Structure formats: C-alpha cells, structure tokens
C-alpha cells in the first residue's frame, strides 16, 4: 500500500511542476543551432530570399563594414546585390555557437564563422576570413528568427601593452 501512495505523490508533484525546463531549453538550443546551419546553407546557395527569411520582418542587420540594413526586405535586396559579385563564390562555415537565454522566447547567440571565396567591394578593405556575429533571437510559432544581427571581423587576439613602447634609441652615424 505504501508504494502506490508514493507513486501517486510523485506523479502529482511531477504534474504540478510541469515539464523540465532544461529539456525545453535543450530543444530550443538545438533549434537555434539548426537556424545557424540554415544560415550557412542559404548563404552557400547564395539565396538571398531564403537567407533573409531567417530574420523577423522588422530585423536589423549590421554587417562587417558597419552598413546597417533595416527590415527583411532591405536585407534580401542588399544580399541579392552582394551575391551577384562580391559573395558569388563565397562559402560560409559556422565554427562555434554559444546561446544564452534572456527569457523562454528570447536569446542571444554568439556565432563564430569563417569564410572563403569572398571579394571586396570597391573601396573596402579585403574581406575577413573569420568573424563573430551577435544575434538577438525571438521564438515565434514557426521557430526561432533573428531580430538583430551584428557581424564583426575577427583578428588574432594579442595581449594589450602594459606601458607605452620605448622610443627608438638614437644611434650615432659614423
């Protein structure tokens, strides 16, 4: 008799506390990782419409040059132009994804990437080979979408100097 009562108490407690948040959050992390895989796949197909569809209708995107694109329509238009030449042979690889939840429906993702085959637009510095994106994401009924996107070039991190460099020594001419 004690065992059925214990089972009933455990079932009641589990019913009251609901599903395990870590299980739900794990599913959301997997969905956000899948979104990043879609980002690489749509980029590598040079499909501006499919890439822009990863964003909310009112999304903001700031690219590595600091160009600010507002809304899914502008993101698609600008990428269509970019895929015509600058990124026509580019290949994007996602190398690391770190997700932090702000709420059950909002998250921040830091996404490291590498790229090969990109060209520089006129007057711009040579394209980066690697970088990091900061994405603000929102969960919608049809899945996770990017609300805000900031892309930054990465260079090898070196230690900050702890003092001003020594002036060059004067060597007498002979």
Residues 8-28: tens digit of each pLDDT = 544 444 444 444 456 668 999
Is 47 inside a domain boundary?
Answer: yes
Whole-number pLDDT of residue 167: 86
Give backbone dihedrals phi and psi of 156, rounded to 5 degrees, phi first: -55, 130
The contacts of residue 18 (CB under 8 Å, 6+ apart) are: none
Whole-number pLDDT of residue 16: 42
Whole-number pLDDT of residue 132: 97
Within 13 Å and on the Cβ side, how many CA atoms surround 1?
A: 0
Is 125 inside a domain boundary?
Answer: yes
Q: How far apart are CA 138 and CA 41, in angstroms?
A: 21
Is 145 inside a domain boundary?
Answer: yes
Structural domain boundaries, residue 62 = 21-153
pLDDT at 56 over 50: yes
pLDDT at 157 over 60: yes
pTM of this prediction exceeds 0.75: yes
Number of separate domains in the chain: 1
Is 169 inside a domain boundary?
Answer: no
Is 59 inside a domain boundary?
Answer: yes
Q: Which of 35, 41, 23 is nearest to 97 (CA)?
A: 35
**pLDDT 10s digits, 100-144:** 999 999 999 999 999 999 998 777 777 778 999 999 999 999 999
Is 124 inside a domain boundary?
Answer: yes
The pLDDT-based confidence of 80 (bands split at 50, 70, 90) is very high
Could you tell me the CATH number of the domain that includes residue 124?
Answer: 3.10.450.50
Average pLDDT, rounded, for the chain: 87
Q: Contact 130/154 with Cβ under 8 angstroms?
A: yes
Is 128 inside a domain boundary?
Answer: yes
Is 2 inside a domain boundary?
Answer: no
Give backbone dihedrals phi and psi of 55, rounded to 5 degrees, phi first: -105, 155
Tokens of 37: 């895989």
Give backbone dihedrals phi and psi of 71, rounded to 5 degrees, phi first: 95, 150
pLDDT at 33 over 60: yes
Tokens of 136: 């603000």
pLDDT at 67 over 90: yes
Q: Which of 52, 77, 73 is nearest to 149 (CA)?
A: 52
Q: How far apart are CA 115 and CA 96, in angstroms?
A: 13
């Amino acid at each position: 008799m004690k065992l059925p009562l214990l089972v009933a108490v455990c079932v009641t407690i589990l019913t009251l506390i609901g599903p395990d948040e870590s299980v739900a959050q794990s599913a959301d992390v997997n969905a956000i990782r899948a979104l990043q895989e879609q980002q690489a796949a749509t980029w590598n197909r040079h499909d501006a419409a499919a890439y822009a569809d990863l964003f909310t209708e009112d999304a903001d995107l700031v690219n590595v040059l600091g160009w600010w694109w507002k809304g899914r329509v502008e993101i698609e238009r600008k990428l269509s132009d970019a895929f015509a030449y600058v990124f026509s042979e580019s290949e994007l690889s996602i190398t690391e994804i770190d997700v932090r939840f702000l709420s059950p429906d909002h998250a921040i993702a830091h996404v490291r990437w590498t790229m090969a085959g990109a060209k520089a637009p006129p007057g711009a510095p040579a394209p980066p080979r690697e970088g990091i994106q900061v994405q603000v994401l929102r969960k919608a009924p049809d899945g996770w979408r990017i609300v805000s996107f900031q892309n930054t070039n990465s260079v090898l991190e070196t230690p900050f100097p702890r003092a001003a460099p020594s002036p060059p020594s004067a060597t007498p001419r002979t």
